[in-house]
Amino acid sequence: MSGIRGLATGVGSLPHLDADKALDLIFKFVPNIPFWPQFPKRDFREGMLAQFSENIPCLEIKGNGLVFNPENKEKKLEVFYEKIINDDLDYFKLSASFALGLHKFYERLSNVDLGRIDFIKIQVTGPFTFLAGINDEKGVMLLHDPVFKQAIFKALSMKLRWQIDLFKKFARPIIAFIDEPYLGTFGSAYTSLNREDVVQGLAEFSESVKSKDLFLGLHCCGNTDWSLFTDIPAIDIINFDAYNFQERFVLYAQNLKGFLKRGGIICWGIVPTQSGRIEDSPVSLVNKIKSCIEALVNKGLEGSLLRSQMFISPSCGLGTLKISESEEIYHLLRATSLYIKDNF
């Protein structure tokens, strides 16, 4: 791809209650790669787990919680796999009750000039994060249940394919992010995941959704082992928290070398998303990127590839912040994107 250097997009969540105002912000500040927003403050069902839970067997919304109900488990799984076998994408749709931002985004795209849009961005909660966030009736993470692990991998891939099918109408390349914040715990005492399971699971998941004009990204806002993703052929974009974890990212220079040579893109999560006053400027943020690129070049990577194959984004989602803070962050993101275009 050419001409992508410094294009900006969002991670997903926003603090808004009004979907139209959120979309106004998106189309103003990330016009090249707009995305559908998630509104966890508007409705619990728009949280990153509940949002993708519709029609997954044994998962139910109760009050403001997502719970596992094993009643009639075998029958529910039978119905579920019939839908999988029949490739019934519509069964796995995200309804407006769970993803208002997606449906409003679709409407907005139907009424804007698509000529200025380079990519349309969509997202799905990653299977490891989803499985780690829900416990069975005994209080054990579904991550350790082989039956539901397989079912949830399949369900989330179908939900992503449904989105891809929905947005292909607009004839723009699609970027789909797999959001895996849980993998920020990989290698720590907080998870028993092993490398083979993660790489094999994400490779199979990625291949199951890969299609023409789809660029598949992996977002993890924590500190992780980035070599988990660089060698998965179907992953085209790695989105990391470039504001806080540059030093750790540089440790994987040799893995990133092959990723870049095959056309991989680094999405620099360079605009900080912590609550409070932002004191950074486009110049200071770009200087942070330059410093990391210099460190990577010193380890043998090609500076031209690092500079040309790059997007930028906030470091993480903004769902917990104030609306005024989200506006400040996206204003800075846009200014940084333009600064990169003109000066980098």
DSSP 303-339: HHHHHHSEEEEESS--TTS-HHHHHHHHHHHHHHHHH
Which amino acid type is present at position 231? D
Q: What is the structure's pLDDT at 142?
A: 95
Decide if 149 is inside a domain. yes
DSSP state of 135: B
Instruction: Give the residue among 318, 300, 312, 298 at the shortest CA–CA distance from 344.
Output: 312
| pLDDT above 90 for 332 | yes
Give the integer Cα–Cα distance in Å for 219 and 263.
Answer: 17
Decide if 179 is inside a domain. yes
Q: How many domains does the chain have?
A: 1
Q: 70 with 137: CB under 8 angstroms?
A: yes
Helices 73-85 and 146-167: crossing angle in degrees, nearest 10, is 40
Give the integer Cα–Cα distance in Å for 344 and 342.
Answer: 6
State the average pLDDT for the chain: 95
Q: What is the structure's pLDDT at 192?
A: 76
Q: Which residues contact 112 (CB under 8 A, 6 or more apart)?
A: 27
Q: How confident is the model at residue 261 (pLDDT cuts 50, 70, 90)?
A: very high
| pLDDT above 90 for 3 | no
| pLDDT above 80 for 215 | yes
Tokens representing 72?
């009639």
Tokens representing 222?
């924590």
CA dihedral 47, 48, 49, 53 (to 10 degrees): 90
CATH number at residue 217: 3.20.20.210
- Arithmetic mean of pLDDT, 178-192: 83
Q: What is the structure's pLDDT at 222?
A: 86
Burial 160-190 (b: 16+ CB within 10 A, else e): bbbbbebbeeeebebbbbbbbbbbbbbeeee
**High-pLDDT (> 90) share of the chain, %:** 90
275 — phi, psi (to 5°)?
A: -70, 140
Q: Which domain holds residue 17?
A: 7-343
The 10s digit of each residue's pLDDT in 20-65 is 999 999 999 999 999 999 999 999 999 999 999 999 999 999 988 8
Q: 122 with 36: CB under 8 angstroms?
A: yes
End-to-end CA distance of the chain: 18
The 10s digit of each residue's pLDDT in 220-235 is 988 899 999 998 999 9
CA dihedral 142, 147, 150, 151 (to 10 degrees): -90
Decide if 115 is inside a domain. yes
Q: What is the structure's pLDDT at 1?
A: 58
Decide if 2 is inside a domain. no
Q: What is the structure's pLDDT at 279?
A: 86
Decide if 1 is inside a domain. no
Q: 176 with 122: CB under 8 angstroms?
A: yes
Which amino acid type is present at position 38? Q
Q: Hey, which residues does 240 pair with through a beta bridge?
A: 220, 268
Decide if 130 is inside a domain. yes
Give the integer Cα–Cα distance in Å for 207 and 217.
Answer: 12
**DSSP code per residue over 23-87:** HHHHHHHS-SS-BPPB-TTT-GGGSTTGGG-TT-TTEEEETTEEEE--TTHHHHHHHHHHHHHTT
Give the integer Cα–Cα distance in Å for 164 and 68.
Answer: 28
| pLDDT above 90 for 189 | no
| pLDDT above 70 for 188 | no
